Structure 1
Amino acid sequence: MTDLPSLTDATLTLENRVATLTMNRHDLRNALTGSALIDDIVATAEWVNTCPEVSVLLLTGAGSAFSSGGNIKDMAERGGDFAGNVAEVENHYRRGIQRIPLALQNVEVPIIAAVNGPAIGAGFDLANMCDIRLASTKAKFGETFLNLGIIPGDGGAWFMQRLIGYQRAAELTLSGRVINAEQAKEYGLVLDVYEAEELMNEANKMAMQFASQPPKATRLTKRLLKMAQRTELKDFLDLSACFQGMSHNEPEHLEAVHAFMAKMK
């Protein structure tokens, strides 16, 4: 089995091609700043891309919260990532929390967020950086930056409107209101909602379904889905033809075809 990266404030497991990253700072409600979670998430994202044994990344939180986002105590004390003048705070963001969206955007496998509890501020944005979000009935979601007199400095304004459209994203961001899991599903922010005790079983079931697909084609498909968001159709079709040529020449393609034909017989 491949070596897992060494993490500080999160745990990481790999089983049946599913890597599960669990944010493990319940004492901070899994705040991304004021902890080592930024480094842990980025290190895991980079490891996933270099580990052929991984087909799915599952992200969740330990304890009652998914992630509370920024560390409010540090904000109040003007400490940690929030200390310094304009240039210093800008640098903290660029070299700190903004590494997460850049790292997750480049992950080559599907990312499933199992939102076990409140996902607030940057925690909400973290969930929106994943490909699919499944939520517990105990989950809550809030783009609450304006309530604290700040803006979504981690890229949240970029991600949410691409999920649910500009108007709804603008209303949630400008009001700073918190919605429950069922409302999040109605808005299209989460795919499904489950009772708390069922969430991880359902998330693992989906992860295992994805992980059962041919691994190299799965990575190429995930890359295509991301590239489709920023590529003109003609260029995208050229790239798709190239990726398809690669896929047709992989042993996993013939294995899948033969398995399909065997089922038909």
Structure 2
Amino acid sequence: MTDRHILFETRDDGIAVLTLNRPDFLNSFSHEMISDWHRYLIEFDENPDLNVLIVTAKGRAFSAGGDIKALAKGEGFIGEPKEDLWSNAFKRKEALWGNIQKIALKMEEIDKPVLSCINGAAIGAGLDMALMCDIRFCAEHAKLGEGYINLGLVPGDGGGYFLPKLVGIPKALEMLWTGDRIKTEEALRIGLVDYVYPAEEIFDRTMDFANVLNSKPQQTVRMMKRLVKSHHKVDLRTHLDMVSSHMAVVTDTNEYIELLEQMKKS
């Protein structure tokens, strides 16, 4: 249904596309959007026929993050709430922990590749949702920024965790403290995004990369992601112990055996 705030397409080739679909509100968050987003992440993760996820959006923005109109009405940053999310400190904490932060935690669990296709402006929590993805493709006209400071807010969905991992602590603090929006040339230079293309090409380029990943040995792809994502949490001895276990497993898969046979014949 096109009026849903999240669209989820699963293709026969193993690629899934999750699309933010609240363009009249610059794809700012709603209760329905957050709920469905989390539900579809679980579906993608648990479906053995799906290998790669693309996260993108409809309209001229990727996401403005929190719903400013809802915030101005005293309802909190999630539009069209189904319950009181803002009347006291406990409810405001639960509005994060029980909603948007569930997405960050689920994204951290997923071993399959997740690509963000940033089709337009990504501000505040909208940008942070792209930072949770493994690789970011960005339309060259998009403006990116952490706007929390302009409302006296802190990055509630994990931006303070993900941003310094990509751009370093000084640049992360600069972006958070100033709230300035940056152009894609600068975003590419500092490592905030990985690829920049014209708007009319951005989705196709992201899909091209998804197809490349989809053609690789999937168990190996997932184990590589797990190793890289955990590198800062473990010491070298633990990492090498993990990778030796992973090596033992992948060399017992049909994918490895088939690729080895192909190499022998080449």
TM-score bracket relative to the smaller structure: over 0.9
Task: Please name the residue that 1:29 is paired with.
Answer: 26
Task: Please name the residue that 2:14 is paired with.
Answer: 17
Q: How do 1:223-234 residues align onto structure 2 when only pairs under 5 Å count?
A: 223-234=226-237
Q: How do 1:1-265 residues align onto structure 2 when only pairs under 5 Å count?
A: 8-15=4-11, 16-32=13-29, 34-80=30-76, 81=78, 83-262=86-265, 264=266
Separation in 1, partners of 2:66, 2:264: 52
TM-score after normalising by structure 2:
0.92
- Structure 1 unmatched ranges of 5 or more: 1-6
- Following superposition, the deviation at residue 202 of structure 1 comes to 0.5
Separation in 2, partners of 1:28, 1:261: 56
Query: Structure 2 vs 1, CA of residues 261 and 12 (structure 1 numbering), >3 Å: closer, same or farther?
Result: farther
Separation in 2, partners of 1:55, 1:13: 13
- Structure 2 unmatched ranges of 5 or more: 79-84
Separation in 1, partners of 2:159, 2:220: 30
Separation in 2, partners of 1:194, 1:147: 29
Instruction: State the secondary structure of the residue aligned to 2:63.
Output: coil
Separation in 1, partners of 2:111, 2:157: 21
- Following superposition, the deviation at residue 86 of structure 1 comes to 0.9
Percent of aligned positions that are identical: 33
Aligned letter for 2:212? Q
Contact 1:9 1:35 in 2 (8 A): no
Instruction: State the secondary structure of the residue aligned to 1:96.
Output: helix
Separation in 2, partners of 1:41, 1:140: 23
**Deviation readout 1:218-253 (Å, 9 max, x if unpaired):** 122221221223111111111111111111111111
Aligned letter for 1:219? R
Aligned letter for 2:20? M
Instruction: State the secondary structure of the residue aligned to 1:21.
Output: strand
Contact 1:42 1:104 in 2 (8 A): no
CA RMSD between the two structures:
1.4
Separation in 2, partners of 1:173, 1:70: 16
Separation in 2, partners of 1:55, 1:168: 33
Task: Please name the residue that 2:82 is paired with.
Answer: none
- Following superposition, the deviation at residue 19 of structure 1 comes to 0.9
Instruction: State the secondary structure of the residue aligned to 1:58.
Output: strand
Task: Please name the residue that 2:81 is paired with.
Answer: none
Separation in 1, partners of 2:224, 2:33: 28
Aligned letter for 2:105? L
**Deviation readout 1:108-162 (Å, 9 max, x if unpaired):** 1111101000000100100111110010012111100010111101110110001
